[in-house]
């Protein structure tokens, strides 16, 4: 009897241990899975396995809450989008126009592919899932499009097979015919990118943190200067107003590329522009992608020193000053967004206590860059500046070399306080059609800044059109717009303000100025 009991007890103990071990295993592996999912969202996934886990868990969430598009769902999508962007190579898809045709719903899509990795890629393929199996592809451009079993495959056409490091293929477009209205809603917003047949999973290096810089103490401001009289500026409707709430107009000059004409960043030059021309603002144009650009082969330390010097001189002279992130060849501000984030974090920390500094966050988006991309960029950069500088004026560039203010007016940035939008014109090229964009946007209540213009052709050279220039200025003055004329240099081109035969770096006489220079001086003075 005794022995039997002992055996029974022993068996029971073994069973308890086995159950405990099993439970432990189940709990443990569940915990592990949750951790992986969490990690996928917050840090870069580095192996194919991790990405698969992430996809499965995402699909599960999608199915669970099919009907409810709650805040949580939205968050889930943005978090996924972030994860996708952490891959060195990623694609973005956006649905554009949609219409009915022969009983089908046609949706037009745009896809952009970015290669942020350190190497050139070729043999790429983008896959987008979630298409109904009965959907059909219509017209397409800039890509070879195939739809098979609900997955859309995009491969290169002959001219866009190779994508350089930091390069992109933008403007891939196609139309899809859906049998039922609403079928398009299942299309994935996060395409997968394959390179050489492999899912591209090379992780981006972790984002660099902005350098902590000491806020600079503003220098003493000269008496009787524009800044002393008008102080901190802000927006009231579409108008810039001064510290007393009175309408104010900024009138001034843009430097040429800081890297190319650094000698004009000197205090006497700015003083001449203030005292002899009547300018109250200087724009410091720092190219990001041309030769010597901040994000290409430029010396960042030297460029930042030029910005610093420019800001100091302008501030001592009681002038306002724009720090211009001069994108041009880098057509889409998203291309160098990481650098822009670091730059504006640093600048806004440094100049947090200056009340005369204005930030222009992307000179001229172009090359088909859509407003939605510029807005995405602006909605990321503006909060970075605002963290340090709560109320400085900020200027946002607009598509088509800062002409499409009418498009921006339909969908302004998320935090519009003290934000203006750039319109740029070159009077001999841009006439009524751009002026009417300006009026449309202004009528819609959009605050606008003419942060760059000249009176010659869009090349910055060619003939001057004084009549068109007059029409522009009638409108500028009627709408109380602020402006900066391009460019402070003696380069042999029509837009340069100093005559190409003049070597003086300040104290110019009328004869030292180019035709454009003479015109602009007169215009500002009046
Ligand atoms: C031009 C300069 C020219 C320089 C060129 C570089 O005038 O000397 O070689 O850039 O690409 C803009 C741009 C501005 C251009 C200017 C004239 O913002 O950088 O400057 N322009 O082409 N938009 C419309 C015209």
pLDDT per residue over 283-310, tens digit each? Answer: 999 999 999 999 999 999 999 999 999 9
Rounded distance from Cα 175 to ligand 1 centre (Å) = 36
In this predicted structure, which of 83-97, 106-120, 456-470 has the lowest mean pLDDT? 83-97
- CB 472, CB 425: distance < 8 Å: yes
Of 17 and 508, the structure prediction assigns the larger pLDDT to 508
Rounded distance from Cα 96 to ligand 1 centre (Å) = 31
Rounded distance from Cα 508 to ligand 1 centre (Å) = 23
How sure is the predictor about 50, in pLDDT bands with cuts at 50, 70 and 90?
very low
How sure is the predictor about 89, in pLDDT bands with cuts at 50, 70 and 90?
confident
What does the mean pLDDT of the chain come to?
Answer: 86
Which of 367, 430, 457, 460 has most ligand 1 atoms within 8 Å of its beta carbon, as the pocket-test mutant? Answer: 460
Is the pLDDT at 219 greater than 70? The verdict is: yes
Does ligand 1 have an atom closer than 6 angstroms to the CB of 493?
A: yes
Cα–Cα dist 304/30, whole Å? 50
How sure is the predictor about 119, in pLDDT bands with cuts at 50, 70 and 90?
confident
How sure is the predictor about 492, in pLDDT bands with cuts at 50, 70 and 90?
very high
At residue 195, the pLDDT reads: 87
| 51-68: pLDDT as tens digits | 333 333 333 333 333 333
User: What percent of the chain is modeled with pLDDT above 90?
Assistant: 75
Find out whether the peptide bond into 173 is cis, omega within 30 degrees of 0.
no
What does the DSSP 8-state code read for residue 147?
Answer: E
Query: Tokens for 387?
Result: 């963290």
At residue 211, the pLDDT reads: 83
Rounded distance from Cα 503 to ligand 1 centre (Å) = 21
pTM listed for this prediction: 0.68
At residue 325, the pLDDT reads: 98
Q: Among 166, 164, 163, 145, which residue's Cα sits nearest to residue 155?
A: 145
Show the beta-strand stretches assigned E in 200-331: 234-236, 239-241, 251-257, 281-287, 320-326
At residue 37, the pLDDT reads: 31
Helix axes 2-42, 71-85, angle to 10 degrees: 70
Helix (H, G, I), strand (E, B) or coil at 111: strand
Q: Among 122, 155, 123, which residue's Cα sits nearest to residue 137?
A: 155
- CB 390, CB 417: distance < 8 Å: no
Cα–Cα dist 10/17, whole Å? 11
Query: Which residues, in sequence order, are CB contacts of 179 under 8 Å at separation 6+?
Result: 104, 132, 134, 135
Phi first, then psi: what are they for 524, rounded to 5°?
A: -70, -40
How sure is the predictor about 3, in pLDDT bands with cuts at 50, 70 and 90?
low
Does ligand 1 have an atom closer than 6 angstroms to the CB of 458?
A: yes
Neighbours of 278 (CB within 10 A): 16
At residue 496, the pLDDT reads: 98
Does ligand 1 have an atom closer than 6 angstroms to the CB of 87?
A: no
419-424-430 Cα angle (round to 5): 145
Summarize the confidence of residues 475-487 as an average pLDDT: 98
Does ligand 1 have an atom closer than 6 angstroms to the CB of 460?
A: yes
How sure is the predictor about 526, in pLDDT bands with cuts at 50, 70 and 90?
confident
Rounded distance from Cα 299 to ligand 1 centre (Å) = 20
| 419-460: pLDDT as tens digits | 999 999 999 999 999 999 999 999 999 999 999 999 999 999
Does ligand 1 have an atom closer than 6 angstroms to the CB of 116?
A: no
Is the pLDDT at 275 greater than 90? The verdict is: yes
| Residue 452 a catalytic site member | yes
How sure is the predictor about 8, in pLDDT bands with cuts at 50, 70 and 90?
low
Does ligand 1 have an atom closer than 6 angstroms to the CB of 328?
A: yes
Is the pLDDT at 40 greater than 60? The verdict is: no
The atom of ligand 1 lying closest to the CA of 460 is 17
Neighbours of 337 (CB within 10 A): 18
At residue 23, the pLDDT reads: 57
| Atom 16 in ligand 1: residue holding the nearest Cα | 460
Rounded distance from Cα 349 to ligand 1 centre (Å) = 29
At residue 458, the pLDDT reads: 98
Neighbours of 102 (CB within 10 A): 6
Where does residue 405 rank: exposed (0-12), middle (13-18), buried (19+ CB within 10 A)? buried
Is the pLDDT at 208 greater than 80? The verdict is: no
- CB 413, CB 359: distance < 8 Å: no
In this predicted structure, which of 16-30, 36-50, 81-95, 233-247 has the lowest mean pLDDT? 36-50
From 364, 370, 457, 493, the catalytic residue:
364
* Beta strand pairing call for 192-195 and 357-360: unpaired
Query: Which residues, in sequence order, are CB contacts of 41 under 8 Å at separation 6+?
Result: 54, 79, 80, 82, 83
Of 520 and 71, the structure prediction assigns the larger pLDDT to 520
Query: Tokens for 272?
Result: 């001449």
From 360, 370, 452, 493, the catalytic residue:
452
Of 57 and 137, the structure prediction assigns the larger pLDDT to 137
| 170-188: pLDDT as tens digits | 999 999 999 998 999 999 9
Does ligand 1 have an atom closer than 6 angstroms to the CB of 40?
A: no
Summarize the confidence of residues 102-119 as an average pLDDT: 90
Is the pLDDT at 44 greater than 80? The verdict is: no
- CB 276, CB 512: distance < 8 Å: no
Is the pLDDT at 71 greater than 50? The verdict is: no
At residue 20, the pLDDT reads: 57
At residue 22, the pLDDT reads: 58
At residue 313, the pLDDT reads: 98
At residue 116, the pLDDT reads: 76
How sure is the predictor about 88, in pLDDT bands with cuts at 50, 70 and 90?
confident
| 72-84: pLDDT as tens digits | 444 444 443 334 4
| Atom 13 in ligand 1: residue holding the nearest Cα | 328
User: What percent of the chain is modeled with pLDDT above 70?
Assistant: 82
| Atom 6 in ligand 1: residue holding the nearest Cα | 290
| 371-421: pLDDT as tens digits | 999 999 999 999 999 999 999 999 999 999 999 999 999 999 999 999 999
Of 477 and 22, the structure prediction assigns the larger pLDDT to 477
DSSP secondary structure, 303-330, as one string: HHHHHHHHHHHHHHTT-EEEEEEE-SSS
Rounded distance from Cα 287 to ligand 1 centre (Å) = 10
Query: Tokens for 332?
Result: 């889409």
The atom of ligand 1 lying closest to the CA of 285 is 19
Does ligand 1 have an atom closer than 6 angstroms to the CB of 283?
A: no
């Amino acid at each position: 009897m005794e022995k039997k009991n002992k055996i029974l007890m022993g068996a029971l103990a073994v069973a308890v241990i086995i159950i405990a071990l099993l439970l432990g295993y189940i709990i443990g592996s569940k915990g592990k899975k949750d951790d992986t999912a969490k990690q996928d969202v917050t840090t870069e996934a580095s192996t194919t396995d991790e990405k698969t886990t992430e996809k499965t868990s995402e699909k599960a969430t999608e199915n669970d809450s099919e009907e409810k598009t709650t805040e949580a769902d939205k968050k889930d999508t943005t978090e996924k989008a972030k994860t996708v962007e952490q891959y060195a190579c990623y694609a973005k898809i956006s649905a554009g126009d949609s219409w009915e045709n022969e009983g089908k719903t046609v949706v037009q899509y745009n896809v952009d592919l970015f290669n942020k990795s350190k190497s050139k890629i070729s043999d790429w393929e983008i896959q987008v899932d979630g298409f109904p199996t009965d959907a059909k592809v219509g017209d397409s451009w800039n890509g070879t499009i195939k739809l098979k079993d609900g997955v859309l495959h995009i491969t290169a056409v002959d001219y866009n097979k190779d994508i350089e490091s930091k390069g992109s293929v933008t403007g891939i477009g196609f139309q899809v015919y859906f049998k039922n209205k609403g079928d398009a809603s299942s299309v994935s917003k996060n395409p997968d990118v394959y390179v050489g047949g492999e899912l591209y999973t090379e992780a981006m290096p972790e984002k660099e943190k902005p350098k902590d810089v000491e806020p600079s103490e503003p220098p003493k401001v000269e008496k009787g200067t524009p800044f002393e009289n008008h102080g901190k500026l802000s927006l009231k409707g579409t108008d810039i107003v001064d510290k007393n709430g009175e309408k104010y107009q900024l009138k001034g000059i843009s430097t040429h590329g800081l890297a190319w004409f650094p000698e004009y960043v000197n205090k006497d030059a700015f003083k001449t522009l203030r005292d002899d021309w009547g300018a109250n603002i200087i724009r410091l144009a720092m190219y990001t992608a041309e030769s010597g650009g901040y994000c290409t082969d430029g010396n960042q330390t030297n460029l930042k020193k030029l910005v610093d010097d420019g800001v100091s001189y302008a501030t001592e002279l009681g002038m306002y000053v724009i720090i211009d992130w001069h994108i041009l060849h880098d057509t889409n501000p998203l291309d160098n967004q990481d650098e822009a984030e670091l730059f504006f974090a640093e600048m806004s920390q440094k100049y947090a206590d200056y009340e005369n500094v204005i930030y222009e966050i992307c000179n001229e988006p172009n090359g088909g860059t859509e407003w939605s991309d510029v807005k995405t960029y602006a909605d990321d950069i503006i909060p970075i500046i605002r963290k340090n500088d709560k109320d400085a004026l900020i200027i946002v560039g607009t598509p088509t070399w800062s002409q499409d203010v009418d498009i921006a007016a339909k969908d302004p940035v998320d935090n519009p306080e003290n934000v203006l939008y750039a319109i740029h014109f070159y009077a001999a090229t841009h006439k009524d059609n751009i002026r009417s964009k300006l009026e449309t946007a202004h009528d819609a209540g959009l605050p606008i800044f003419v942060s760059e213009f000249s009176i010659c052709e869009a090349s910055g050279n060619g003939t001057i059109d004084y009549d068109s220039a007059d029409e522009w200025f009638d409108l500028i003055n009627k709408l109380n717009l602020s402006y900066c004329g391009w460019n402070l240099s003696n380069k042999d081109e029509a837009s340069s303000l100093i005559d190409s035969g003049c070597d003086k770096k300040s104290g110019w006489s009328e004869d030292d100025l180019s035709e454009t220079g003479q015109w602009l001086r007169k215009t500002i003075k009046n």
